[in-house]
Structure 1
Amino acid sequence: MKNVLFVCSRNKWRSLTAETIYKNKSDFCVKSAGTENSARIKINSKLLVWADLIFVMEKHHKEKLILNFRDEIQNKKIFILEIPDVYKFMDKELIDEIKMTVAGHL
């Protein structure tokens, strides 16, 4: 079973939506976090070590992981989904975009 981590800025809309979509799938375990201090769940070393696959919503999220957690993400697959911060939690368009961009990787 793969451990999958979704990351956005505040872990309130995009990454939380992704976690909600995939959390009941039997082939993987899913969590989400945010890179900002105001995040609902703030990204940390433990989450990154736990993750087999990491999906970030935008390039600057990956850059923050590289800057702050270089050792923890070494040898990790990090995919940039290119999903902008223009959606609310569980927006239909957001769900469709997440499913479409993640599909080839899971």
Structure 2
Amino acid sequence: MGRQTERVLFVCGKARMRSPTAAALAPDLLGVEADCGGLSRDADVPLSADQVDWADTVAVMERSQLARLKRQFGPHLKGKRVVCLDVPDRFNAMDPGLIALLTRQFSRLG
């Protein structure tokens, strides 16, 4: 019997504010398994190929990160759904404004 729960990987620059907040919210709001990682060398949780392989959907916060994701992990994205949530880097982790924006943008994952 196969797994039923979708796996969503949230990606931002440093995995410090936006993607950890999204990964914390997604299981309750979307009913998915969630993880997060960052594309920067100094990310708190550097994104790995294993994480990308694990995911069904990869959600980046900004369009510039989409290009970077494709450059760094292109072969691992084959067969994955990749979505840009358009969430600017101006929030602290779990900021009410960030939570409200992510909650709206999660509709792009539906």
Check whether TM > 0.5: yes
Q: Which residue of 2 aligns with 1:14?
A: 18
Deviation (angstroms), 1:61: 1.1
Give RMSD over aligned pairs: 1.5
In structure 1, give the amino acid aligned to 2:23: E
Cα distance between partner residues in 1 of 2:108 and 2:63: 19
Structure 2 regions of 5+ residues with no counterpart? none
**TM-score, scaled to structure 1:** 0.92
Q: Which residue of 2 aligns with 1:28?
A: 32
Residues 55-82 of structure 1, C-alpha deviations (whole Å, 9 max, x = no match): 1000111111111111100121111111
Structure 1 regions of 5+ residues with no counterpart? none
In structure 1, give the amino acid aligned to 2:99: I
Moved over 4 A (4+): none
- Structure with bigger helix share is 2
Deviation (angstroms), 1:4: 0.6
Q: Which residue of 1 aligns with 2:105?
A: 101
Cα distance between partner residues in 2 of 1:26 and 1:101: 12
1:44 aligns with 2:40: no
- What is the identity percentage for the equivalent residue pairs of Structure 1 and Structure 2? 25
Cα distance between partner residues in 2 of 1:26 and 1:93: 19
Q: Which residue of 2 aligns with 1:70?
A: 74
Cα contact 2:83–2:108 (8 A) shared by 1: no
1:60 aligns with 2:64: yes
Cα distance between partner residues in 2 of 1:11 and 1:26: 20
